Homo-oligomer: A and B are copies of this chain.
Amino acid sequence: MLRLKLPTDPRWANVAEKNLEEILTDHAFCEQKAASTAISLIVTYPEYSDLVTEMSALAREEMSHFEMVHKHILKRGFVIGRDRKDEYVARVTKFFAQTGDRKLRLVHRLLIAALIEARSCERFKVLSENIEDQELASFYAKLMVSEANHYTLFLKFARQYGKREDVDKMWDNLLTFEAEVMKDFGNKELIHG
């Protein structure tokens, strides 16, 4: 799915479902961090007007997803827990070498964001197809579509601000790297765990 090079083992969904409070808390904060990333891109690159326009709409959408997840948490009698570091995000973020080239840094950030959305989308699909809680299964089926749109949005901007050919090569290399990283994951009740 979405050109990711290592699919998630569906058994991960069963690990996740065993601790709904944990996976929902982690998911809520994924949405919050996605909103914060969109805001950070606005603050760092305000001169790219079309990026700013799309990122402000995206930040709103991510916060509305946060609200939906929070409602699912409360409805089940849980309380959202504390946010924790996302090890997967920490690992994939290190792929691109630091650079003094401001525009290249933007392309790197857009590709990393595209990747995280793509993997989240895949994880939501696995959840939607494998968990027993039917209400949550249909919730994840819907969210999956949004994440796929976000993934293409970030990739579109990366190709717009970088050289198409270079960006496609970076993206392919990033996907290869991510597939390696993912071998260490798939066993925890976290969206990227």
Contact = CB atoms under 8 A, between A and B. Distances in A.
Given A63-B60, A67-B56, A79 B49 contact: yes
Contacts of A42: 32, 66
A80 interface: yes
Interface in A16-72: 25, 29, 32, 35-36, 39, 42-43, 46-47, 49, 52-53, 56-57, 59-60, 63-64, 66-67, 70
B83 A47 contact: no
Contact of A46 (B49, B52, B60, B80): B80
A169 interface: no
A82 interface: yes
Give the interface SS of chain A, mostly helix, strand, loop or mixed: helix
Interface of A: 25, 29, 32, 35-36, 39, 42-43, 46-47, 49, 52-53, 56-57, 59-60, 63-64, 66-67, 70, 74, 79-83
14 contacts: A25-B46, A32-B42, A36-B36, A36-B39, A39-B39, A42-B66, A43-B83, A46-B81, A52-B70, A53-B67, A56-B70, A59-B63, A60-B63, A60-B64
